[in-house]
Amino acid sequence: NQTQTRKIMAYSSIAHLGWMATISSIMTNILIMNLLIYLIMTTSVFFSLIISKSKTIQDTTSTWTLSPTLTIIMMLSLLSLGGLPPLTGFIPKWLIMEE
């Protein structure tokens, strides 16, 4: 029930650190892939937040009228960071669980 995007990103970083610590001693290839995917997704979310000048989830609703594409990319990146199955963020978590 968090609305501030900075806190959401901080909690996301803590969660991803746990996934990376879990796989670090087993498979470094999966660790590197997980880190690269996480960095790319986080960078895209941060750039989207900077461009839209939004600090909360409610601020992103006003971004929709200015740039619908940016809003869609930002929301899909946030969902992917959460690790939903059809999105990119699910693949590293699935591979970690397989190992």
Per-residue pLDDT of the chain (99 residues; tens, 9 = 90+): 677 877 888 888 888 888 888 888 888 888 898 889 889 988 988 888 888 888 887 787 788 888 888 888 888 888 888 888 888 888 888 888 888
| pLDDT in the model for residue 4 | 80
14, amino acid identity = I
Q: Tokens representing 66? A: 């200015």
Phi-psi region of 83 (alpha: psi -120 to 50; beta: other; left: phi over 0): left
| pLDDT in the model for residue 1 | 66
pTM value? 0.78
